[in-house]
Every structure is written in structure tokens, then in C-alpha cells.
């Protein structure tokens, strides 16, 4: 058993996993696969344009009436980059869209005595070719870029811009210092990725076990921690390397919701989100489960209903529970009653301000529950699983009339009237953002942002690139995945599990509807992931835990990489997009160690000095962008690699840092070999927690 387990981990350690995924279009929707090449822009395969978009671009080009063929060819190529699968990187997203894509330009970084190829100087090529050519309705007008004082009626570049450098300062960018630019033919990426980090150094700052962490919206060094039973605490985070632990009184929580929440292996407080303006309005939201037989307020509409062709009376009892006995709830609470300035509040009222959403669950598993606010749009995102059952037996995830197996996007700042809620068939007190992908689709629920998910467990926006929205989706039989979530994206479940067609182990339990669901349009493959056999072949269980794109400067060798883990294996990976913005990811299994001067000594794997984290339940991020790991053994923080003697050339080691002994390669392999015995000892506890089953 130990030998097989160790071989599986060694394969992961030395054979990085490479995956591909669709980038984004300017409307935040993933590119689609064309059935035929575009007539004008000639794109084939994956594109952000359809035939209508292509025809509109052709009309726009013809209206420019460009007499010079060489200039016309360049302008056409620039216009057609709207169809490029990487158009979001070239133009921006939604309200921040540029009129012209970022044009590759190395003139600012290359001296006049050095050679300059045409691709790297595409911006200069455009200037030289088109500067004296008349272009009607020119997209290069300074007023469109925010400049003033230049007559927009002029249509020649030499009349609009003073010089090549002036022009390229506005429209140009180098692939050396910008993630992506257009070189006239294709997208040019920064192609010099750093080598993966040598390992992750951790310090243990608390012994307690928690399921969620949220940074205080006031920007301070405080965070909120919650457990599954329904308690939320407000804690102060000590400085890295200070030798101090999390500061809070466990006997005096910020709010105690245990009387309202049904807590069991599959149920409890599943997520919390604090309004971006919490410091002034005191609003916060909690996602939890209730039991209809125990609470009169637990009375939402059943997710198995006539709208989705489902009859709850025909569903068999699940673990002794009747359909929709248990429900998923999002409720709003307030800290205003305890303080006139919510940013200083240390407690909140346990009484609901309003019920945002209540939905009855068909089965007792796969109900996700995380909530978080979008960093740019301020809307509330709700991650919902497929409702349970082997292989999504009722095909909820692909049915856009159902909210199950979806990521929902709600506007909680504009609460409609009761009559409006009824008229719109909403599930609670919220409104629909106008730009939701199915807001005008009568065949879909307007709340849906993305679909085709099994049980998303921990999603996050990249604080460095906010339109990168990562979600971990737990697999069933073979594969655990990390997805890049896009507007209206279909992630394939239950027809696909990860990148592969789903082949259920127990086909008799899978509804024939699923087996016949072969016509999925443009399913989006995961960007990262791993097979169950590679992680935990002997125990046969795996459950991915989503993390964060690391943006702290404590470990500069981790910067920009996506950190994620597996619940059962206690293993962590760093996902690196290479080249940046390409959608091409490589995942590397990370060794980890505990700092010798950790405020609380880390537990060790039996017979080894290497750390045992127990079960990894979740990740957290504070206002400094430090990343925390929430486990069954406590709260850990990612710290400077030198504290564990991991080499990182980018780290600036100060005199007061004393590097701690780190694991040798032999010791790390010994830890991997012994991990199977450790996992067997704690397996029963994790089955009770119920993430992957």
C-alpha cells in the first residue's frame, strides 16, 4: 500500500500536469468554436466573433474608405483582433474596452543601434505605413483614448498624433513588460516563465479548525473566521515572523448563528461574504443550511419542481431525508445595531435583516454554498452544486431552468418589491444584473452566470487580474478540476468529468438522460487538475480544494501562481500560467515544511519531522494578500521561503531572518511514502465531513 501510494505521488512530483483552457472575450464570455471560417476576418476554430460580428466588422472597415492597400491591410488586421480568442487581454473587459488592441512595440526598450524585427515593432509599422493615409471614423482618435485638444475630424495619424513615440505610447506595449500584445499576425506573450518554487514554507498561528476566512473590508489586519456549526469570529492577524498567533476570544464570537443553522456532516455554515462597503453600511451575508422539519423559516421552493421537469414526490429518500427537507439559504445580517461605525463593531445581531435566497435540496449532498462579492462589479456570486446523486441523475447541471450545478450572480444592492419578486419568479430578495448571460433568455434562469458544475468548493478572483475567476470543482470517479469561470460558460458536468467524457463506474445509477446528453456546445475544459489515482489510489478518495492566485510579497517565488490542494491527501500544487494570459497552465506538486520558529509548533507525520496538516478544508486571504490554509490541525500561513531554508532568488533576506532547517529531498520522499499510513488513520473523520462523496 505504501509503495503504490508513494509511486503515485512521485509521478506527480516529477511529471507536471499541463492543461489548456479558453481565454476570455471582451464581453467576459469564453470563445466559441466556429462551424465555418469567418468570411471577412478569416478566423477559424476558436473565436470571439460569429458571422454577424464578422459582417459588422467588414462594414466598419469599408466605412473607413482607406485608399492605401498596405495601410488597409494593417487596419483590417487590427479590427479583426476583436475576434481573437485573447481579445479580453488585448482590449480589456466589459466597460474598460480599448478602441484598439495593445500593439506590440519594443521601440521604447530597444536602442536605435539594435535590430528590431517587424513583429516586435508592429506599432511603429502601423505608424510608418498609415501616418499619411486618410482613415474615416478612425479608431486611433486621441479623444477615444481620453486625450483632449486635438481635432477629432482629422483622420490622418500625423494630424492626430505628434510623432511615432506619441502614437505608440498610447497604443503600443511590449511583450517584454506586458502580458500580451498584437504583433500583426497573432498574439504575442511574455514567454519567460520562472521556474516553480522549491517549496512552500508555513507557520502555524492557531490550533482551531475553520471552514471559511474573509478579510475585513476596512483594509485592516483583521479577518473573519467561521466554523461549520455556525459561529463567526473576528480575529487580528499578527505580523509575519512576529512569533504571535491569531488574536480573538473563542468564547465571544462576532455572531453566533448556531440556533438557526442545521449542522451535520453535509450541512452547516458553508460561506460568508462581507459587503464591499461593510465598514460604513455593516451589511454581511451568510450561506447556510436549514432543516424544514426543525425551522418554520426553512420554507423555500424545492429545486426539484415542475419548471425543471422534476417531481419531488418521486424522489427516493436520501440518507433518511425527504426531498427538500434540507435547504440552502443566503441571509443578510447587520453589524449596525452594535456600533454606529460598523468598521469598529466587534459583534453583530444574530437576527436576519432579510432572507436573500432559500432553495430546497433534492438530495443531501453537493450543495456547494460559498458566496463572495465580485471585486469589480460588486455583485454577489453563489456557488451551487448539482444537488447530489451519482452522476447528477436528473441532469440538473446542464438544465438551465435549474439553479443546481451553477454559479449564480445576484444584485443585492437593488432589492425588488414582493410583487416584482413574484413576477420575475425570483427565489428571494435580490434583482438580476442586466448583463447576466441569460437575463433575457426565457429558457434559462436569469440568475445563472456559469453552469455544468458538480460541486464547486472554493472559488476566488485573482486580485492581480480580477477577471480571472478560479473555481475548484470536485470530481466523482476519476478527476478533480480547477476551472477558469467565464460568463455563460458550460463546464461540461455530467457529460464531462474534467477534460474527459464521464464514464460512470456504476452506470445503473445514472439516468438515461445523462447518457444521451451528447450535444453540449463548447464545454470548457479545466485549466488544472489531477486524477484520483495519482493522488490517493489506495484509499480511493480525492476532493479538490480551491485556493488563491498568490499576490503576497512574502514569497516572491510564488507570486502570481495559483495555490490549491486536496482535502484527503494534504497535498498542495502551484499552478503556473505559461506564457502569462495564454490559458496554458502547468501544475507542480509542492513540497512544504514548517518554519522552525513557527508560533505554534506544527504536528509531524508519524516517524518524521515533516509537518502534518491533517485535512485541508479551505484557503483564506487577508488584506495583505497573505494566503492561509484552514485545516483540521489549525490555521497556517504561507511565509518567507528562507524560514524553511527553501531557495528563492527573488527573496530579500534581512539580517533578522534566521533560516530554519528545511526538508532534504530524501526526507520529502520519506514523507510522501509515509503519508498513506497517516491518511488511513484519519480517513473516517474526513468521510464524515463529506466534501467529496
The residue among 99, 101, 95, 98 whose CA lies nearest residue 27 is: 95
* Residue 38 and residue 109 in one domain: yes
Q: Residue 478 falls within a domain, yes or no?
A: no
pLDDT of residue 518: 59
Helices and strands in the chain, H and E counts: 12, 35
* Residue 556 and residue 579 in one domain: yes
pLDDT of residue 3: 35
pLDDT of residue 566: 94
Which residue carries 511603429 as its cell?
124
* Mean pLDDT of the 125-132 span: 95
pLDDT of residue 10: 35
Q: How confident is the model at residue 109 (pLDDT cuts 50, 70, 90)?
A: very low
Q: CA-based diameter of the chain, in Å?
A: 80
- Residue 163 sits in which domain range? 26-189
Q: How confident is the model at residue 662 (pLDDT cuts 50, 70, 90)?
A: very low
Quote the CA–CA distance of 374 and 434 in Å, as a whole number.
15
Instruction: For 407-445, write each residue's pLDDT tens digit.
Output: 999 999 999 998 988 888 899 999 999 999 999 999 999
pLDDT of residue 124: 93
Instruction: For 222-257, write each residue's pLDDT tens digit.
Output: 999 999 999 999 999 999 999 999 999 999 999 999
Measure CA of the first residue to CA of the last residue in the chain; give whole Å.
22
pLDDT of residue 455: 98
pLDDT at 191 over 60: yes
| H or E stretch at 52 | helix 51-63
Exposed e or buried b per residue across 408-430, where buried means at least 16 C-beta atoms within 10 angstroms of its C-beta: bbbbbeeebeeeebeeeebbbbb
* Residue 500 and residue 590 in one domain: no
* Residue 6 and residue 32 in one domain: no
Quote the CA–CA distance of 222 and 258 in Å, as a whole number.
23
pLDDT at 669 over 50: no
Q: Residue 200 falls within a domain, yes or no?
A: no
* Residue 313 and residue 436 in one domain: yes
Q: Return mean pLDDT, the chain.
A: 85
Cα atoms found within 13 Å of the Cα of residue 74, Cβ hemisphere only: 23
Q: Residue 197 falls within a domain, yes or no?
A: no
Q: Which residues pair with 235 in a beta bridge?
A: 223
Q: Which residue has the higher pLDDT, 579 or 490?
A: 490
Domain boundary among 189, 220, 240: 189
Q: Residue 470 falls within a domain, yes or no?
A: no
What does DSSP say about strands 172-173 and 103-104: parallel, antiparallel, or unpaired?
parallel
Name the phi and psi angles at 661, rounded to 5: -60, 135
Cell numbers linked to 93 = 473587459
The torsion region of residue 268 among left (phi > 0), alpha (psi -120 to 50) and beta comes to left
pLDDT of residue 581: 81
Residue 624: Cβ within 10 Å count: 16
Q: Residue 460 falls within a domain, yes or no?
A: no
pLDDT at 151 over 60: no
* Residue 238 and residue 318 in one domain: no
Quote the CA–CA distance of 472 and 483 in Å, as a whole number.
6
* Mean pLDDT of the 558-571 span: 93
pLDDT of residue 614: 92
Q: Residue 459 falls within a domain, yes or no?
A: no
Print the SS3 string covering 95-157. Answer: HHCCCCCCEECCCCCCCCCCCCCCCCCHHHHHHHHHCCCCCCCCCCCHHHHCCCCCCCCCCCH
Q: How confident is the model at residue 675 (pLDDT cuts 50, 70, 90)?
A: very low
Give the contacts of 665 (CB within 8 A, at least 6 positions apart). none
Q: How far is CA 345 from CA 198, 230, 332, 337, 529, in A?
A: 42, 19, 16, 9, 41
* Residue 147 and residue 279 in one domain: no
Give the contacts of 431 (CB within 8 A, at least 6 positions apart). 410, 411, 414, 415, 416, 420
Could you write out the DSSP letters of every residue in 202-245?
EEEEE----SEEEE-TTSSSEEEEE-TTSEEEEEEPPPTTSS--
pLDDT of residue 657: 43
Quote the CA–CA distance of 276 and 374 in Å, as a whole number.
9
* Residue 406 and residue 309 in one domain: yes
pLDDT of residue 117: 53
* Residue 185 and residue 244 in one domain: no
The residue among 350, 361, 420 whose CA lies nearest residue 387 is: 361
Q: Which residues pair with 110 in a beta bridge?
A: none
* Residue 621 and residue 558 in one domain: yes
Could you write out the DSSP letters of every residue in 491-526?
--TTTEETTEE---SSGGGS-HHHHT----SSPPPP
* Mean pLDDT of the 27-48 span: 91
Q: Residue 196 falls within a domain, yes or no?
A: no
pLDDT of residue 121: 87
Instruction: For 583-615, write each residue's pLDDT tens digit.
Output: 889 999 999 999 999 999 999 887 777 789 999
* Residue 223 and residue 296 in one domain: no
The total domain count for the chain is: 3
Print the SS3 string covering 59-96. Answer: HHHHHCCCCCHHHHHHHHHHHHHHHCCCHHHHHCCHHH
Q: How far is CA 511 from CA 390, 413, 473, in A?
A: 9, 40, 21
Range in 107-116, 410-419, 484-493 with the lowest mean pLDDT: 107-116
Answer for the pair 563, 574: CB distance below 8 angstroms, yes or no: yes
* Residue 210 and residue 312 in one domain: no
Could you write out the DSSP letters of every residue in 323-379?
TTSEEEEEEEEESGGG-SSGGG-----SS-SEEEEEEE-SSSS-----EEE-TTT-P
pLDDT of residue 343: 87
Amino acid at each position: 500500500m505504501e509503495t503504490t501510494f508513494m509511486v503515485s505521488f512521485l509521478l506527480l512530483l516529477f511529471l507536471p500536469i499541463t492543461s489548456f483552457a479558453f481565454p476570455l472575450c471582451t464581453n467576459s464570455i469564453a470563445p466559441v468554436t466556429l462551424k465555418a471560417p469567418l468570411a471577412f476576418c478569416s478566423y477559424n476554430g476558436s473565436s470571439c466573433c460569429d458571422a454577424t460580428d464578422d459582417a459588422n466588422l467588414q462594414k466598419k472597415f469599408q466605412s473607413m474608405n482607406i485608399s492605401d492597400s498596405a495601410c488597409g491591410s494593417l487596419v483590417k488586421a487590427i479590427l479583426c483582433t476583436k475576434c481573437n480568442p485573447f481579445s479580453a487581454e488585448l482590449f480589456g473587459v466589459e466597460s474598460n474596452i480599448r478602441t484598439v488592441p495593445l500593439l506590440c512595440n519594443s521601440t521604447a526598450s530597444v536602442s536605435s543601434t539594435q535590430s528590431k524585427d517587424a513583429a516586435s515593432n508592429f506599432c511603429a509599422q502601423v505608424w510608418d505605413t498609415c501616418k499619411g493615409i486618410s482613415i474615416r471614423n478612425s479608431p486611433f482618435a486621441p479623444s477615444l483614448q481620453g486625450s483632449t485638444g486635438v481635432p477629432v475630424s482629422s483622420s490622418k495619424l500625423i494630424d492626430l498624433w505628434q510623432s511615432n513615440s506619441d502614437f505608440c505610447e498610447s497604443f503600443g506595449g511590449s511583450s517584454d513588460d506586458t502580458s500580451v500584445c498584437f504583433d500583426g499576425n497573432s498574439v504575442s506573450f511574455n514567454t519567460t516563465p520562472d521556474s516553480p518554487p522549491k517549496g512552500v514554507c508555513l507557520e502555524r498561528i492557531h490550533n482551531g479548525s475553520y471552514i471559511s476566512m474573509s478579510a475585513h473590508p476596512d483594509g485592516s489586519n483583521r479577518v473573519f473566521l467561521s466554523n461549520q456549526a455556525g459561529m463567526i469570529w473576528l480575529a487580528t492577524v499578527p505580523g509575519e515572523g512576529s512569533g504571535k498567533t491569531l488574536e480573538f476570544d473563542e468564547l465571544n464570537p462576532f455572531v453566533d448563528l448556531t440556533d438557526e443553522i442545521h449542522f451535520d456532516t453535509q450541512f452547516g455554515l458553508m460561506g460568508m461574504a462581507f459587503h464591499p462597503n461593510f465598514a460604513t453600511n455593516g451589511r454581511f451575508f451568510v450561506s447556510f443550511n436549514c432543516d424544514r422539519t426543525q425551522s418554520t423559516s426553512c420554507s423555500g421552493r424545492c429545486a426539484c419542481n415542475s419548471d425543471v421537469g422534476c417531481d419531488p414526490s418521486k424522489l427516493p429518500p436520501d440518507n433518511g431525508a425527504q426531498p427538500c427537507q434540507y435547504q440552502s439559504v443566503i441571509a443578510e445580517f447587520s453589524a449596525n445595531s452594535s456600533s454606529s461605525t460598523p468598521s469598529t463593531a466587534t459583534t453583530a445581531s444574530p437576527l436576519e435583516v432579510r432572507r436573500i435566497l432559500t432553495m430546497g435540496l433534492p438530495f443531501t449532498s453537493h450543495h456547494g454554498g460559498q458566496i463572495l462579492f465580485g471585486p469589480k462589479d460588486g455583485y454577489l456570486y453563489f456557488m451551487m452544486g448539482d444537488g447530489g446523486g451519482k452522476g447528477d441523475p436528473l441532469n440538473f447541471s446542464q438544465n438551465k431552468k435549474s439553479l443546481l450545478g451553477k454559479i449564480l450572480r445576484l444584485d443585492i444592492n437593488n432589492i425588488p418589491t414582493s410583487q416584482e419578486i413574484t413576477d420575475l419568479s425570483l427565489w428571494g430578495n435580490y434583482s438580476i444584473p442586466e448583463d447576466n448571460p441569460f437575463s433575457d433568455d426565457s429558457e434559462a434562469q436569469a440568475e445563472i452566470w456559469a453552469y455544468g458544475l458538480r460541486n464547486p468548493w472554493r472559488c476566488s478572483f485573482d486580485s492581480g487580474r480580477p477577471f480571472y475567476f478560479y473555481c475548484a470543482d470536485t470530481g466523482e470517479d476519476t478527476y478533480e478540476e480547477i476551472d477558469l469561470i467565464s460568463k455563460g460558460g458550460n463546464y461540461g458536468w455530467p457529460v464531462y468529468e474534467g477534460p474527459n467524457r464521464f464514464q460512470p463506474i456504476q452506470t445503473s445509477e445514472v439516468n438515461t438522460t445523462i447518457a444521451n446528453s451528447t450535444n453540449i456546445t463548447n464545454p470548457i475544459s479545466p485549466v488544472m487538475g489531477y486524477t484520483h489515482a495519482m493522488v490517493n489510489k489506495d484509499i480511493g478518495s480525492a476532493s479538490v480544494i480551491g485556493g488563491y492566485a498568490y499576490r503576497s510579497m512574502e514569497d516572491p517565488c510564488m507570486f502570481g501562481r495559483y495555490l490549491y490542494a486536496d482535502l484527503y491527501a494534504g497535498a498542495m500544487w502551484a499552478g503556473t500560467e505559461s506564457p502569462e494570459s495564454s490559458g496554458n497552465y502547468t501544475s507542480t506538486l509542492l513540497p512544504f515544511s514548517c518554519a522552525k520558529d513557527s508560533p505554534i509548533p506544527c504536528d509531524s507525520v508519524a516517524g518524521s519531522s515533516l509537518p502534518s496538516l491533517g485535512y485541508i478544508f479551505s484557503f483564506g486571504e487577508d488584506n495583505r494578500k497573505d494566503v492561509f490554509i484552514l485545516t483540521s490541525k489549525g490555521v497556517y500561513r504561507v511565509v518567507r521561503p528562507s524560514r524553511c531554508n527553501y531557495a528563492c532568488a527573488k527573496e530579500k533576506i534581512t539580517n533578522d531572518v534566521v533560516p530554519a532547517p528545511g526538508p532534504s529531498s530524501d526526507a520529502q520522499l520519506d514523507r510522501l511514502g509515509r503519508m498513506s499510513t497517516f491518511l488511513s488513520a484519519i480517513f473516517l473523520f474526513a468521510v464524515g465531513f463529506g466534501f467529496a462523496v
